[in-house]
């Protein structure tokens, strides 16, 4: 895109009160940003532009866009506009598509079949494992995994996808910064094996109002959204609601009735989200849409390490755990084993991946720790 065009897009995007919808209305009225900047006050008023935005458009300050121009000079960086052929088709279908997308990494990721994986920032160990394993299976099957770079489920989904394929992170800040900061190394990996995306220009910090806007892009880029764990007030449910409004599929993983992080998923299922127990469930649902782009054979189902090699006492302890978080005292009571034996066995089971420790001294059985699940072990 010529430099003059990029400048025009950036200047219009900086106009006060000109959000995505008003930008789209101005484009419909005038055709392109350069024509918007040439319009008179009367024409802009007739198009519904707000007074502060009109004042800016009549006398824009190019110094305001210099941080964006400086950022674009870095390697692997690109600005996609609504007029760019590379702008993702699914996102353009939204009633309020972002006029500009800042991209660092491979912009082709944005046009590949994507599945969003979202969930709690404070998940259970089982939720972390589910997110990671679902993402790895689905990425290996040809889907780009899209999420929001947040702590918890988002981070686990990105890491799982990086094991087998590509992932895309949509941020709530400008791409000159990483939020949360502890995901800086993860962000670098995503750039190498996917892309970071934002509608916010460089310099924009993390603000609460930015994240619902980010969520609509996550769901808008994706053919479906999988919610792994979420409380009833989780921002992940906003993403799921947006996906439904956008006509996209919504999937949810059920959990224990005692796990507060599962209640948001249960609510979604009651409202019509598709209950999934394995990555295969999602591939079967989406396979009709993408055919050969999604391979059912390329994602081997994960199995518990050494699940069939446990002796009787270890199998008894594992079976006594059930599928809800359980304390050491409860396990001692259920099994009749000594406290020393239970503690030692739990340590070995955790090292082998059969169980994971949770907050408050509780332990959870890993979702793939039951060899009797018969082909359903990829959750």
Dihedral sign (CA 372, 374, 377, 379): negative
Taking only the tens of pLDDT, the chain with its 379 residues reads: 556 699 999 999 999 999 999 999 999 999 999 999 999 999 999 999 999 999 999 999 999 999 999 999 999 999 999 999 999 999 999 999 999 999 999 999 999 999 999 999 999 888 998 999 999 999 999 999 999 999 999 999 999 999 999 999 999 999 999 999 999 999 999 999 999 999 999 999 999 999 999 999 999 999 999 999 999 888 899 999 999 999 999 999 998 888 888 999 999 999 999 999 999 899 888 876 665 455 543 444 433 333 345 678 888 888 888 777 888 888 888 888 888 888 878 878 877 778 887 777 788 887 655 543 333 222 2
- Taking the C-alpha atoms of residue 264 and residue 227, their distance in angstroms, rounded to an integer, is 9
pTM of the model: 0.81
Torsion angle of C-alpha atoms 180, 259, 316, 366, degrees rounded to 10? -30
The CATH T-level fold of domain 107-293 is Rossmann fold (3.40.50)
The secondary element (H helix, E strand) that includes residue 365 is: strand 362-365
| Bridge partners, residue 168, by sequence | 146, 195
Angle at 203 between CA 202 and CA 209, to 5 degrees: 100
Give the pairing of strands 362-365 and 326-327. antiparallel
What single DSSP character describes residue 297? S
| Bridge partners, residue 58, by sequence | none
Question: What CATH class is the domain 307-373?
Answer: mainly alpha
């Amino acid at each position: 895109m010529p430099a003059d065009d990029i400048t025009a897009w950036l200047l219009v995007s900086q106009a006060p009160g000109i959000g995505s919808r008003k930008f789209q209305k101005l484009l419909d009225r005038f055709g392109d940003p350069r024509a918007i900047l040439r319009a008179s006050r009367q024409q802009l008023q007739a198009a519904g532009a707000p007074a502060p935005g009109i004042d800016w458009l009549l006398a824009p300050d190019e110094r305001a866009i210099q941080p964006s121009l400086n950022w674009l000079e870095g390697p692997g960086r690109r600005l996609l506009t609504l007029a760019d052929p590379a702008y993702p088709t699914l996102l353009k279908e939204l009633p309020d598509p972002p006029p500009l997308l800042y991209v660092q990494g491979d912009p082709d990721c944005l046009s590949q079949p994507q599945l969003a994986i979202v969930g709690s920032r404070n998940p259970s160990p089982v939720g972390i494992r589910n997110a990671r394993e679902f993402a790895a299976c689905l990425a290996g099957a040809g889907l780009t995994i899209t999420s929001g770079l947040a702590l918890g489920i988002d981070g686990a989904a990105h890491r799982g996808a990086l094991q087998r394929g590509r992932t895309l992170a949509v941020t709530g800040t400008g791409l000159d910064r990483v939020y949360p900061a502890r995901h800086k190394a993860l962000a670098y990996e995503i750039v190498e094996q996917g892309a970071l995306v934002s509608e916010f220009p460089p310099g924009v910090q993390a603000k609460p109002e930015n994240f619902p806007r980010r969520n609509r892009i996550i769901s808008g880029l994706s053919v479906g959204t999988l919610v792994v764990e979420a409380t009833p007030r989780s921002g992940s449910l906003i993403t799921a609601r947006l996906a439904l409004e956008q006509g996209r599929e919504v999937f949810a993983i059920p959990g224990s009735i005692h796990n507060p992080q599962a209640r948001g998923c249960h609510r979604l299922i009651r409202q019509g989200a598709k209950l999934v127990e394995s990555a295969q469930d999602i591939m079967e649902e989406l396979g009709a849409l993408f055919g050969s782009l999604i391979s059912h054979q390329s994602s081997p189902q994960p199995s518990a390490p050494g699940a069939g090699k446990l002796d009787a006492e270890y199998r008894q302890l594992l079976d006594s755990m059930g599928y809800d978080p359980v304390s050491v005292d409860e396990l001692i009571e259920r099994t009749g084993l000594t406290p020393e034996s239970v503690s030692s066995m739990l340590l070995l089971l955790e090292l082998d991946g059969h169980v994971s420790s949770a907050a408050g001294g509780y332990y959870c059985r890993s979702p793939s720790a039951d060899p009797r699940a018969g082909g359903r072990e990829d959750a």
